[in-house]
Amino acid sequence: MLIRSIIFYFLLYIWTLILGIVCLPYLLLPNSYVRSLANLWIDGILKFLKFTCGITYEIRNKENVPTHTAIIASKHQSAFETLLLFRLINRSIFIHKRELFFIPIFGLYLKKSNMIAINRNQGTRAMRKMLDEVKQRILNGYSIIIFPEGTRKKPGDVPDYKTGVAGIYKESKIEVVPVAVNSGHYWPKNTFIKSPGKIIIKFLKPLPVNLEKLEFLKKIESNIENETNKII
């Protein structure tokens, strides 16, 4: 799989570079144009994964995919769910670390897409700023995609759900849709090589809006972890 992975990354870098440079004028247009460009970029990556690495995907429980403004809280094992969730959920944005804005060309498109960046070094100040931005985005009709553990986890790692997702839940007062994945088996963390197989993205039943903080944290973790462990 080493050669196949090398080919995938070669195609990914060339595709990203060409699209990013050729379409720079899109940055002067409304962000809906950048969204369309991002969808095209993701579609290309999904094709590269299929034909070079033998990685396909399946979406389960499509009836739970939100068609209205919602918070999507997903298990995070690889970059795959980052791409696919953004592609699936219309008018959605991510909460991500601020450093991604500094990636040449890519960071410009992130800013244009109304993403929310968080400075992890600012503690509670960063959390307050992030919550204010989340509320504003929701008022503007955006769904929020968040990874409650804050970083990628290898399959089998001990869960580490942060309280930030509970703060977003409390402030936003909208449904939270948990998502389970198994992408870490095929797009492993901290390794170059990918393995062929089918990645499952499983949308779970939304959590109601009136749960207490501790009850919410318990449910979001147990629901995501239990369903992630069941995926075969």
pLDDT in tens, 141-166: 999 999 999 889 999 999 999 888 99
Distance of CA 12 to the CA centre of its chain: 18
Q: How does pLDDT run across 94-118, given as a tens digit for each residue?
A: 988 888 888 888 888 988 888 988 8
CA 65 – CA 11 distance, rounded (Å) = 30
Cα three-residue angle 132-138-143, rounded to 5 degrees = 120
Q: Would you call 49 helix, strand, or coil by DSSP?
A: helix
The predicted pLDDT at position 77 comes to 96
**Fold of the domain built from segment(s) 59-230:** Glycerol-3-phosphate (1)-acyltransferase (3.40.1130)
Q: How does pLDDT run across 68-83, given as a tens digit for each residue?
A: 999 999 999 999 999 9
Q: How confident is the model at residue 220 (pLDDT cuts 50, 70, 90)?
A: very high
**Cβ atoms of 181 and 77 closer than 8 Å:** yes
Q: Would you call 48 helix, strand, or coil by DSSP?
A: helix
Cα three-residue angle 109-46-8, rounded to 5 degrees = 90
Containing H/E element for 7? helix 2-22
